[in-house]
Amino acid sequence: MIEYAHATLVSSSLKLSPFFVDTGRKSKNPLDTGTDAAPVVQSRVEHAFRFVQHRQEVIERARKNLLDAQAAQKKFYDKRRAENPFKVGDLALLSTQDLNISHATAETTLRSRKFIPRFIGPYAILAIQGNVVLLDLPANLKHLSLCFNIDKLKVYTSNPDRFEGRVIPKSTPVIFDDDGAPLHVVEALIKKRIFNRQPEYLVKWHGLPHHENTWERERDVKHVKSLASTAQGSSSSRSSGTGLVEFSSLEVSCQPLHALERAHQSALR
pLDDT digits (tens, 9 = 90+) for 153-200: 988 877 555 555 555 444 445 566 677 666 777 888 888 899 889 999
**pLDDT reading at 14 higher than 90:** no
Pick the more confident residue, 12 or 236.
12
What is the Cα–Cα distance from 113 to 100, expressed in whole angstroms? 9
Question: Is the backbone peptide bond immediately before 122 cis, with ω within 30 degrees of 0?
Answer: yes
The average pLDDT across 9-24 equals 74
**pLDDT reading at 126 higher than 90:** yes
What is the Cα–Cα distance from 109 to 23, expressed in whole angstroms? 61
What is the Cα–Cα distance from 265 to 182, expressed in whole angstroms? 10
The average pLDDT across 5-16 equals 72
What is the Cα–Cα distance from 137 to 125, expressed in whole angstroms? 9
What is the Cα–Cα distance from 166 to 41, expressed in whole angstroms? 88
Entry field: residues in the chain: 269
Pick the more confident residue, 262 or 93.
93
Per-residue model confidence (pLDDT) at position 135: 92
Per-residue model confidence (pLDDT) at position 193: 92
Question: Where would I find the H helices in 44-94?
Answer: 44-80
* 71-75, 98-102, 204-208: range with lowest mean pLDDT: 98-102
| 91-95/261-263 β-pairing | unpaired
DSSP string, 145-175: -SEEEGGGEEE--SS-GGGTT---PPPPPPE
What is the Cα–Cα distance from 33 to 22, expressed in whole angstroms? 25
Q: For the stretch 129-168, what's the b/e string if a residue is b when 16 or more beta carbons lie within 10 angstroms of its beta carbon? A: eeeebbbebeeebeeeeeebebebbbebeeeeeeeeeeee
Per-residue model confidence (pLDDT) at position 40: 63
Question: Where would I find the H helices in the chain?
Answer: 2-8, 18-23, 44-80, 101-104, 227-232, 249-254
Question: What is the rounded average pLDDT for all residues in the chain?
Answer: 71
Per-residue model confidence (pLDDT) at position 228: 45
**pLDDT reading at 137 higher than 90:** no
